[in-house]
Chain A
Amino acid sequence: MATPGICDSANLNGGQKLAVKYFIVAITLFGAQVLFGMLAGLQYLYPDFLYGVLDFSVNRMVHINALVVWMLYGFLGSVYWLLEEESQHEVVGLKLGNLIFWVLTAAVTVVVLVYLFVQIGPGKESSIWLINEGREYIEAPRWADIGIVVSVLVVFFNVAATFSKGRYTGIAGVLVLDMLALFGIYLAGMFYTTNISIDQYWWWWVIHLWVEATWEVMVACIMAYGLMKVLGVRRKIVETWLYIEVALMFGSGILGLGHHYFWIGTPEYWFSIGGFFSALEPIPLVAMVVHAVFDAGARHAKNSNHPTMAWLIAHAFGNFFGAGVWGFMHTLPQINLYTHGTQWSASHGHLAFFGAYATIIIAMFYLAVQKWRGDVWMSGELPGNGWKWKWSLGLLNLGMVGMTMSMLVSGYVQSQIERAIEGSSWIGYFAAQGHPWFVQGMWWRELFGVMFTLGFVLLVWDLMTIGRGEKRVLVPAALDE
């Protein structure tokens, strides 16, 4: 047994060693996301800043691509993290898994370098294959698409095979099918068509069925594992509830796709489908509220990892406000006609991605660090009273809430002036962009962005140091299932 308090890979099983690599890349990309978001935000205030060098389009592309990729890395890492414990079997193709990790990471690096230094190409299919596909969120050029699909297929088979050889639990079943769906859907975004309506129809399959269906179920699987691990909830209950959540999330989420099909040329029946299922989408959230209260009342939870627990609570609130409240505020077509494609969408996007996904992956980071340092105690009486994790938690969450509120103000002005009054014309667009409220919103967004950035720096510092020198170790009973 290694000395507690020091990061030692002897504390981790094979899958977890690989998971840590995924987590390190994930947090690096999180940093890139924050950096390029700040640059793009600054360009709203000083349009000449980096003009012609790193234009807004480039910064924004790196900002959102880093987001997608760091979250996927976070998910893949989380899957590898729980794989051996859940299956009670060694990862069958660990060497291959490692190889694929390096291949994937190399591909991501090349893609980002091309984004930054080549940026654009001529109007030919070769540009789409080699430089940039030019479709929001899935800009990765086609060669990289194919590389990503091959890589994740290997991860998928690795996971499925490990579960098959070991214990095929309920969580395993949901996880494997969800991974298959998640990566299968990516194929819907891998072709060129001149017809922009059909282009965006399939594009939404990828974006929506990821973030409002398969990613949510992925998180539900991670949560299920986490609940057993951190709070010691019984497997039978956890798995039944996993199925309930899957039924609610897929039941409302798959056809909830309709709320993206209001204005892209698609028929009018999508209005009612989108409206109805959007009204249903908060139901899984209501279910979580009731169940969380029930659980908290039914057991006297003790936990040995306060940062993880705090981030899970942040997840519950963030998911509820970001996806639930912010989503429903502008989802009905009667109002979405004015808010679609304004800072409203940006406001909702920021809070929802952070609240629903960033929080849970950060919780996993803390869980990983704890084990990596030999199951050290990470509750009360941390050195300095754990000020680093508490401050980073506060700064990141307040920063995000602040950014969201700022963009909400800007979006409100934009939906009124640009959309309702001027009808999305060029003149109307700039009338709104120059309105004092809009401009102030953009200023506040950048200031809260600084706060968020400080929180991020502190988070990295904390993850590198928390538990260092800690001598107290968890009593094994606290981790008993």
Chain B
Amino acid sequence: MIEPASLSDFFTIFFASAMVILLGALYALLFAYARIRTVRWLMPLAYLSYAGLFVSTLVLAQAANLLSHPLWATVVGCMLLGYLLAPHGIWHLCVGTHARAETVPAKSS
């Protein structure tokens, strides 16, 4: 069911997992900031963060022997897709919920 990590991969795993979460947040932050302030040049940086996340996830998957098992490979796939789409989804929700409740649209600020 699982293939325990080997000692030499410990640091890689800790580091890559931390980077997954950090870059995930950085991507979300830059993405949201680029949209709200309409700063165009920030968006490529956001996707650069996601690219970093993508690589980190694969490094993590490799080090933790996730890809050799179909079930764990699926988890990796879900992570890659989920972290890509989550900020988009949440952004739409922000716009949707605020537009409903506020007389002044959010964009005007």
Task: Give the contact stretch, choosing among A31-39, A116-124, A281-289.
Answer: A281-289
Q: Are A334 and B64 in contact (CB under 8 A)?
A: yes
Q: Please give me the residue from chain A that is nearest to B19 by CB atom.
A: A325
Q: Are A328 and B21 in contact (CB under 8 A)?
A: yes
Task: Tell me whether A240 is interfacial, beta carbon within 8 Å.
Answer: yes
On whether A272 and B72 interact (CB within 8 A), knowing A283-B86, A325-B21, A335-B13, the answer reads yes
8 Å CB interface, A201-251 against B: 234, 236-237, 240-241, 244
Contact of A276 among B4, B75, B91, B106 (CB under 8 A): B75
Task: Tell me whether A421 is interfacial, beta carbon within 8 Å.
Answer: yes
Q: Please give me the residue from chain B that is nearest to A267 by CB atom.
A: B1
Residues on the A chain within 8 Å of B93, using CB: 244
Task: Tell me whether A330 is interfacial, beta carbon within 8 Å.
Answer: yes
On whether A290 and B94 interact (CB within 8 A), knowing A297-B36, A298-B36, A333-B2, the answer reads yes
B56–chain A nearest beta-carbon distance, Å: 11
Contact of A289 among B4, B32, B102 (CB under 8 A): B32
Q: Are B17 and A324 in contact (CB under 8 A)?
A: no
On whether A334 and B65 interact (CB within 8 A), knowing A294-B91, A320-B25, the answer reads yes
A297–chain B nearest beta-carbon distance, Å: 4
Q: Are B97 and A421 in contact (CB under 8 A)?
A: no
Interface of B is mostly: helix
8 Å CB interface, B73-108 against A: 75, 78-79, 82-83, 86-87, 90-91, 93-95, 97-98, 100-102, 106
On whether A332 and B91 interact (CB within 8 A), knowing A298-B98, A298-B106, the answer reads no
How many B residues face the partner with a CB closer than 8 A? Answer: 47
Residues on the A chain within 8 Å of B31, using CB: 290
On whether A329 and B29 interact (CB within 8 A), knowing A271-B1, A286-B83, the answer reads no
8 Å CB interface, B6-53 against A: 7, 10, 13-14, 17-18, 20-22, 24-25, 28-29, 31-33, 36-37
Task: Tell me whether A279 is interfacial, beta carbon within 8 Å.
Answer: yes
Residues on the B chain within 8 Å of A268, using CB: 1
On whether A290 and B90 interact (CB within 8 A), knowing A237-B97, A299-B109, A416-B10, the answer reads yes
Residues on the A chain within 8 Å of B2, using CB: 271, 333-334, 337
Q: Please give me the residue from chain B that is nearest to A279 by CB atom.
A: B79
Residues on the A chain within 8 Å of B5, using CB: 334-335, 337-338
Q: Are B18 and A325 in contact (CB under 8 A)?
A: yes
Residues on the B chain within 8 Å of A290, using CB: 28-29, 31-32, 87, 90-91, 94
A244 to B89 Cα, complex, angstroms: 12
Task: Tell me whether A1 is interfacial, beta carbon within 8 Å.
Answer: no
A105 to B9 Cα, complex, angstroms: 49
A346–chain B nearest beta-carbon distance, Å: 15
Residues on the A chain within 8 Å of B72, using CB: 272, 275
A272 to B78 Cα, complex, angstroms: 13
On whether A237 and B25 interact (CB within 8 A), knowing A415-B10, A416-B7, the answer reads no
A368 to B31 Cα, complex, angstroms: 36
Residues on the B chain within 8 Å of A298, using CB: 36, 98, 106, 109
Interface of A is mostly: helix
Task: Tell me whether A99 is interfacial, beta carbon within 8 Å.
Answer: no
On whether A286 and B28 interact (CB within 8 A), knowing A328-B17, A334-B65, the answer reads yes
On whether A289 and B25 interact (CB within 8 A), knowing A234-B101, A244-B93, A334-B2, the answer reads yes
Q: Are B86 and A287 in contact (CB under 8 A)?
A: yes
Task: Tell me whether A477 is interfacial, beta carbon within 8 Å.
Answer: no
Residues on the B chain within 8 Å of A276, using CB: 75, 78
On whether A328 and B28 interact (CB within 8 A), knowing A291-B90, A298-B109, A416-B10, the answer reads no
Residues on the A chain within 8 Å of B90, using CB: 286-287, 290-291
Residues on the B chain within 8 Å of A329, using CB: 13-14, 17-18
On whether A286 and B37 interact (CB within 8 A), knowing A279-B75, A300-B109, A421-B7, the answer reads no
B23–chain A nearest beta-carbon distance, Å: 11
B7–chain A nearest beta-carbon distance, Å: 4
A331 to B72 Cα, complex, angstroms: 14
With most chain B CB atoms within 10 A of its CB, the pick from A234, A300, A330, A332 is A332
Q: Please give me the residue from chain A that is nearest to B91 by CB atom.
A: A290
Q: Please give me the residue from chain B that is nearest to A287 by CB atom.
A: B90
Q: Are A334 and B4 in contact (CB under 8 A)?
A: yes
Contact of B66 among A283, A285, A291, A334 (CB under 8 A): A334
A283 to B36 Cα, complex, angstroms: 20
8 Å CB interface, A316-363 against B: 320, 324-325, 328-335, 337-338
Task: Tell me whether A293 is interfacial, beta carbon within 8 Å.
Answer: yes
Chosen A-B contacts, 22 in total, with CB atoms closer than 8 Å, are A234-B102, A237-B98, A283-B82, A286-B86, A286-B90, A287-B86, A290-B29, A291-B90, A294-B32, A294-B91, A294-B98, A297-B33, A297-B106, A320-B21, A328-B17, A332-B13, A332-B66, A334-B64, A335-B13, A335-B64, A337-B2, A337-B5
Given contacts A271-B1, A283-B82, A290-B28, 16 further A-B contacts (CB under 8 A): A240-B101, A286-B25, A286-B83, A290-B31, A294-B106, A297-B36, A325-B18, A325-B21, A328-B20, A328-B21, A329-B13, A332-B66, A334-B66, A335-B5, A416-B7, A420-B10
Which 5 A-B residue pairings sit nearest by Cβ, starting from the closest?
A297-B36, A293-B32, A236-B101, A334-B64, A294-B94
